[in-house]
Amino acid sequence: MIQVKILGTGCAKCNQLADAVQAAIAADGIVAEVEKVQDIQQIMSYNVLSTPALVVDGEVRSAGRVPSADELHSLLRPKAKGCCCKGSSGSSCC
Amino acid sequence: MKQSLLWWGGLLLAALLWVFLYLRLEGGAEVLVGMLGLSRSVPFGEALHFFLYEVPKVLMLLTAVVFLMGVVHTFVSAERTRAMLSGRRLGVGNMLAAALGIVTPFCSCSAVPLFIGFLQAGVPLGVTFSFLISAPMVNEVALALLFGMFGWKVALLYMAMGLGVAVIAGLVIGRLRMEEHLEEWVRKLQGSADAGSGIPERMEWPQRMREGLGHVREIVGRVWLFILLGVGLGAGIHGYVPENFMASLMGQSAWWSVPAAVLIGVPMYSNAAGIIPVVQALLGKGAALGTVMAFMMSVIALSAPEMIILRKVLKPRLIAVFAGVVASGIVLVGYMFNLVL
């Protein structure tokens, strides 16, 4: 179970990101809780400069753009604990 | 390695093809108009020629400039700009902020987080404003269109004047010590965070070029329709509106036309792509360049929706000062142009 937050004040790109995240979650069968954060004070507590931003388990993974489906696939992975995921082709872990 | 070669080769080929096509646009439009049995001496022929020549020209220029900017953006992120501006003093800081406003990726929907993020990391209020004024006003779409429709001199002048307005307005706001007119919760955040180094991750060139292409898809994909409509309207004006029609309304002798142009521009919310072709056509009908320039800057830099967004972080007094200072700067620019040219 991962906690996904989408930070954005309701611009077109923010909705695009929300849709893309939902699609990626459905495609990969990820168990996730998705929350849209629209309050500017809450958004600023993550110290991001541009929206929409994607936060996974409290960590800002992307800001200011809508990542491609491929990228989302690796961005939505839970934080790698310890080390080394064997046989993984994604460079984002470890 | 092989992939890198492919990208560079592709870029070279695309550049050559671009130059080849660009040099043939005017002749091509002439031939097309001729094929339809029209000539440029009748109004419809003239309007059609204008449209067939300007649309591909502007789109090609825009694609090239936006691609380059997309690549530049991979070197300068908002985070990096913030790190460079953090703790700068008024003066040098304002100039740096205005200059960085040209090359830093900026979207008006992120204006608020950006604004707070800058203050949070200790960027002075006046310097932050210089950035916030320059970033939307001196953008690559406006510059590419000005270059395409007015020539490089006007594009350069626009850039210089836009930077000037941004620097001076930021300086004035900084000097007025307006910090107390920030909303309470924003004031508390001032200087509370570390700016960090903001060095973007290392990237290979193919990846940078891919980002450039992505930028083209996004920007050109969004504005091409505005360009089509704008040039279409411009073509109509070009072919049908009589010479000197605009002279009495927007000409040099009408002193009130500059402030009026700025006022009319505020509630209008259009992007540079739609407004510049229309404005160019007006210029051909006797409107003065300074008046037209002031109108354009006002439409792009002072928009009502942006003020409403900024209201979340600024008290009304600071918004009024911001709008007032920028508007006065633009009016001055308008008069200066009308005097000089």
Q: Per-domain residue ranges for chain B?
A: 2-73+204-229, 90-191+241-340
**pLDDT level of residue B269 (50, 70, 90 thresholds):** low
3-state secondary structure of A60: strand
Res. A92: pLDDT tops 80: no
The residue type found at B75 is: F
Residue B94's pLDDT is 92
Q: Do A44 and B116 touch (CB under 8 A)?
A: yes
Q: Do B78 and A49 touch (CB under 8 A)?
A: yes
- CA-CA distance, B105 to B85, in Å (whole number)? 15
CB interface of A with B, residues 25-64, below 8 Å: 40-41, 43-44, 47-51, 64
Of the partner residues B79, B113, B120, the one whose CB lies closest to the CB of residue A43: B113
Enter the CATH code of domain A2-75: 3.40.30.10
Nearest alpha carbon to residue B314 among B116, B94, B88, B82: B116
What ipTM score was computed for the predicted complex, to two decimals?
A: 0.70
Summarised one tens digit per residue, pLDDT across range A29-41 is 888 888 888 888 8
- Which range among A84-93, B70-79, B134-143 shows the weakest confidence by mean pLDDT? A84-93
Residues B190 and B120: beta-carbon distance below 8 Å: yes
**pLDDT level of residue B306 (50, 70, 90 thresholds):** confident
Residues A73 and A24: beta-carbon distance below 8 Å: yes
* Both tokens assigned to B4: 């890198």
Average pLDDT of chain B is 85
Residues of A in contact with B117 (CB under 8 A): 44, 47-49
Residue A80's pLDDT is 57
What pTM does this model have? 0.82
Name the one residue in this structure whose structure tokens are 């990726």: B105
Q: Do B113 and A13 touch (CB under 8 A)?
A: no
Mean pLDDT of B251-258: 76
3-state secondary structure of B187: helix
**pLDDT level of residue A82 (50, 70, 90 thresholds):** very low
Of the partner residues B105, B113, B312, the one whose CB lies closest to the CB of residue A48: B113
Domain ranges of chain A: 2-75
Q: A73 exposed, middle or buried (CB, 10 Å; 0-12, 13-18, 19+)? A: middle
Q: Do B112 and A9 touch (CB under 8 A)?
A: yes
Res. A85: pLDDT tops 60: no
Of the partner residues A12, A13, A49, the one whose CB lies closest to the CB of residue B113: A49
Mean pLDDT of A17-36: 86
- Which range among A22-36, B169-183, B299-313 shows the weakest confidence by mean pLDDT? B299-313
- Most confident segment among B37-41, B94-98, B281-285, B309-313: B94-98
- CA-CA distance, B198 to B75, in Å (whole number)? 10
**pLDDT level of residue A83 (50, 70, 90 thresholds):** very low
Interface test with A, best of B110, B115, B188 (most A CBs within 10 A): B110
Residue A88's pLDDT is 40
Q: B22 exposed, middle or buried (CB, 10 Å; 0-12, 13-18, 19+)? A: middle
Mean pLDDT of B57-78: 90
- CA-CA distance, B95 to B141, in Å (whole number)? 22
Residues of B in contact with A13 (CB under 8 A): 107, 109
**pLDDT level of residue B283 (50, 70, 90 thresholds):** confident
